[in-house]
C-alpha cells in the first residue's frame, strides 16, 4: 500500500493537472535557487512552477487522463502548471531559457493535447489573447466601416444619377 504522504502528493498533482489549462515540463539541472525564483516570477501569477518527483507526477498525470507525457519524466523535472493565458507563461519560459541555457523545455500539454518543445516555443511566439482579440475587434470595425461606406454610397450615387438625368432632360427639353 502506498504511503499516505505519497498518495496525498499524487492527488494534489492530479488536481493541478486537471485544473490547469496547460502544463509544461522542464529540466532545471544546473539552475540556482535564485534563478528558479526569477523563473517563477517571469511566469506570471497564472502559473505555478514546481519541482516534482518523476514517478509520482507520472502517476498523477495518468490519473488526470494525461498519458502523453510519460516519456518526458526522466532527469530532474519541474512542471509549470498554467491556469491563465498559456501564451504569456510560454513566453516567460522561452525568454528565461534564452538567458539561462540550463533550463530545457521538454514538452507539455495544452487542453489535453500533447505539445513538443518546439510547439511550446511556437506558442510563445503568438501574441497574447488580449492583443489577438483587439486585432479581431479592429478587423470587425474596419469591415463595418467599409459596409457603412458602401451603404452610404448607394443613395448618394442614385441622387447624383437622378440629378444628372434631370439636368439632361431639362437641357434636351430647352433645346427643342
Does the pLDDT value for residue 74 go beyond 60?
Answer: yes
- DSSP secondary structure of 6-42: HHHHHHHHHHHHHH-SEEEEEE-TT--HHHHHHHHHH
Does the pLDDT value for residue 148 go beyond 80?
Answer: no
pLDDT of 174 reads: 60
CATH code for 1-125? 3.30.70.1730
For every residue of 77-111, which 3-state class applies, written as one string?
A: EEEEEECCCHHHHHHHHHHHHHHCCCCEEEEEEEC
Indicate yes or no: pTM above 0.85.
no
pLDDT of 1 reads: 40
Average the pLDDT over 37-58 and give the result: 87
Helix (H, G, I), strand (E, B), or coil: what is residue 87?
helix
Average the pLDDT over 159-174 and give the result: 81
pLDDT of 81 reads: 92
pLDDT tens readout for residues 95-145: 888 888 888 889 888 887 888 888 888 887 777 667 777 877 877 777 777
Question: How remote is the C-alpha of 164 from its chain's centroid?
Answer: 57
Q: Please state, in angstroms and as integers, the Cα–Cα distance from residue 126 to each residue in 2, 103, 116, 157, following that order.
A: 43, 21, 16, 44
The pLDDT mean for the chain works out to 83
The answer to whether residues 31 and 37 touch, using CB atoms and an 8 Å cutoff, is: no
Does the pLDDT value for residue 161 go beyond 50?
Answer: yes
pLDDT tens readout for residues 75-97: 888 999 998 888 888 888 888 88
Amino acid at each position: 500500500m502506498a504511503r499516505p504522504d505519497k498518495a496525498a502528493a499524487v492527488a494534489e498533482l492530479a488536481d493541478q493537472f486537471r485544473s490547469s489549462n496547460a502544463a509544461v515540463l522542464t529540466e532545471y539541472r544546473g539552475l540556482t535557487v535564485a534563478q528558479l525564483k526569477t523563473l517563477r516570477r517571469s511566469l506570471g501569477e497564472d502559473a505555478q512552477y514546481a519541482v516534482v518527483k518523476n514517478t509520482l507526477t507520472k502517476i498523477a498525470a495518468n490519473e488526470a487522463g494525461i498519458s502523453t507525457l510519460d516519456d518526458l519524466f526522466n532527469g530532474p523535472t519541474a512542471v509549470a502548471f498554467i491556469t491563465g493565458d498559456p501564451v504569456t507563461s510560454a513566453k516567460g519560459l522561452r525568454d528565461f531559457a534564452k538567458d539561462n541555457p540550463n533550463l530545457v523545455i521538454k514538452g507539455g500539454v495544452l487542453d489535453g493535447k500533447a505539445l513538443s518543445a518546439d510547439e511550446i516555443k511556437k506558442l510563445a511566439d503568438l501574441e497574447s489573447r488580449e492583443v489577438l482579440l483587439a486585432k479581431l475587434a479592429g478587423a470587425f470595425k474596419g469591415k463595418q466601416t467599409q459596409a457603412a461606406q458602401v451603404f452610404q454610397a448607394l443613395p448618394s450615387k442614385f441622387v447624383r444619377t437622378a440629378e444628372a438625368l434631370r439636368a439632361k432632360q431639362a437641357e434636351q427639353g430647352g433645346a427643342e
